Amino acid sequence: MPFFLISPAVRASRAGRGVASEEERCLPASALSASTAARLKPPPRPMRRLLPRKRVVSGVQPTGMVHLGNYIGAIKNWVALQDLYETFFFIVDLHAITLPYDAPELSKATRSTAAIYLACGIDSSKASIFVQSHVRAHIELMWLLSSSTPIGWLNKMIQFKEKSRKAGNENVGVALLTYPVLMASDILLYQSDLVPVGEDQTQHLELTREISERVNNLYGGRKWKKLGGRGGSLFKVPEALIPPAGARVMSLTDGLSKMSKSAPSDLSRINLLDPKDVIVNKIKRCKTDSLPGLEFDNPERPECKNLLSVYQIITGKMKEEVVSECQDMNWGTFKATLTDALIDHLQPIQVRYEEIMSDPGYLDSVLLDGAGKASEIADATLNNVYQAMGFLRR
């Protein structure tokens, strides 16, 4: 498990404080004067060195093409998080079956999503990348958690209400009601500290927190100890990690709706794997307005704000730079500039994606390795829960 590494800056400041180097500490004590020996006495280890890094988990469903919203709102941020935290990024295939889906497509979409993670810069030497269904503990813990989740809590979920209304109430699968418990299992199995969530997922994260507190109270602490366990909490209660502002990418055809895989029109989104001519066409046809100049902060111009924000994020420019560059442009000039920037940004990702997909052995080994690391942690949590809930173990 990775631990906090001492940065060069900390090393330099230690040298300035007269702290002993590794070589000095290796000298025999008899070779040192008393004052030097006192100076070289190893300092107490900073707490940060002893603590494991915080854990972060997140995933994307293999339900369609990964789009610019998923990239800017989720995957691009994960690339930075993998350097700061112990990270688990998985393809949430078990969630992809809550609504009717195309079975022959599921495994292809799962591989493709994994390859997109890698192509976008998720590094398997830093993060565990795996397929949710490859770690059996997710489903097992979900069942155990279900017994402690009141049905009233699930009936309140906005996504359930909206999606079941759209799909025709009585006909939706039970999984649409219970998948938030699977999401709780996805998070709690890894004793996660932080969960990056978009606005659409905050209610589910709150539910996860409530379930974890309830199960900790029902089965943790002294009750668990009496059954031979270590006592204390079975689960860490996770916190939401709010993505940077401006990370809600809106539809190309309606600046007030979020860009979505499930939106019926493909013209509403830029998919990460869209070829050049498709990007050119989608930006050419995207919704604009007839006001002069371009601006970020006019609430009457949601499309203008959305397209400028996308341009800012993918070019890595400051907002002020984008304002001075684009404020006097007309839509034709800006659309050409945005199209070029999108193609420049996405092309290297697409090239890496093709390389990864052309080497299935490599992708398989990344997913196997990731599932192995994930299973170790997940199984430890699951075993604790079985024990605390009183099951006879083999």
Catalytic residues: 163, 258, 261
- Choose which of 73, 220, 229, 370 interacts with ligand ATP (CB under 6 A): 73
Element (H, E) at 346: helix 331-357
Under rule CB under 6 A, residue 121 binds ligand ATP: no
Q: How far is residue 44 from each of residues 41, 48, 123, measured CA to CA in Å?
A: 9, 11, 33
Minimum separation from the CB atom of position 367 to ligand ATP (A)? 18
Can you spell out the DSSP letters for 90-121?
A: EE-GGGGGSS---HHHHHHHHHHHHHHHHHTT
Bridge-based pairing of strands 194-196 and 127-131 is unpaired
CA separation for the pair 375, 143 (Å, rounded)? 17
Give start and end residues of each alpha helix (H) in 242-326.
Answer: 276-285, 302-315, 319-326
Q: Tokens 């300092």 label which residue?
A: 43
Footprint (CB under 6 A) of ligand ATP, residues 139-198 = 198
Under rule CB under 6 A, residue 248 binds ligand ATP: yes
Under rule CB under 6 A, residue 271 binds ligand ATP: no
Minimum separation from the CB atom of position 343 to ligand ATP (A)? 20
Under rule CB under 6 A, residue 208 binds ligand ATP: no
Minimum separation from the CB atom of position 258 to ligand ATP (A)? 4
- The token pair at 237 is 């209660």
Whether 119 and 356 have beta carbons less than 8 Å apart is answered as yes
Q: Tokens 């400041």 label which residue?
A: 13
- Choose which of 123, 200, 239, 355 interacts with ligand ATP (CB under 6 A): 200
Which residues, in sequence order, are CB contacts of 223 under 8 Å at separation 6+?
A: 388
Q: Which residue is nearest to ligand ATP (CB)?
A: 73
Minimum separation from the CB atom of position 255 to ligand ATP (A)? 12
Burial of residue 155 (number of CB atoms within 10 Å: 0-12, 13-18, 19+): exposed
Under rule CB under 6 A, residue 260 binds ligand ATP: yes
Q: How far is residue 316 from each of residues 120, 191, 301, 310, 311, measured CA to CA in Å?
A: 15, 33, 22, 10, 8
Instruction: Pick the closer one to ligand ATP by CB: 234 or 263.
Output: 263
Under rule CB under 6 A, residue 259 binds ligand ATP: yes
Under rule CB under 6 A, residue 302 binds ligand ATP: no
Q: List strand residue ranges (DSSP E) for 216-336, in order.
A: 239-241
- The token pair at 67 is 């789009």
Whether 387 and 220 have beta carbons less than 8 Å apart is answered as no
Under rule CB under 6 A, residue 216 binds ligand ATP: no
Whether 187 and 144 have beta carbons less than 8 Å apart is answered as no
Instruction: Pick the closer one to ligand ATP by CB: 57 or 388.
Output: 57
Under rule CB under 6 A, residue 69 binds ligand ATP: yes
Under rule CB under 6 A, residue 201 binds ligand ATP: yes
Stretch that binds ligand ATP, among 69-77, 127-135, 318-326, 349-357 (CB under 6 A): 69-77
Minimum separation from the CB atom of position 108 to ligand ATP (A)? 16
Under rule CB under 6 A, residue 70 binds ligand ATP: yes
Instruction: Pick the closer one to ligand ATP by CB: 92 or 377.
Output: 92
Under rule CB under 6 A, residue 268 binds ligand ATP: no
Instruction: Pick the closer one to ligand ATP by CB: 39 or 248.
Output: 248
Under rule CB under 6 A, residue 247 binds ligand ATP: yes
Under rule CB under 6 A, residue 61 binds ligand ATP: yes
Minimum separation from the CB atom of position 171 to ligand ATP (A)? 19
Burial of residue 233 (number of CB atoms within 10 Å: 0-12, 13-18, 19+): middle
Minimum separation from the CB atom of position 260 to ligand ATP (A)? 4
CA separation for the pair 108, 16 (Å, rounded)? 56
Under rule CB under 6 A, residue 255 binds ligand ATP: no
Q: Tokens 């070829």 label which residue?
A: 275
Instruction: Pick the closer one to ligand ATP by CB: 127 or 259.
Output: 259
Under rule CB under 6 A, residue 221 binds ligand ATP: no
- Choose which of 60, 141, 356, 374 interacts with ligand ATP (CB under 6 A): 60
Residues making contact with ligand ATP (CB under 6 A): 60-61, 63, 69-70, 72-74, 198, 200-201, 247-249, 258-262
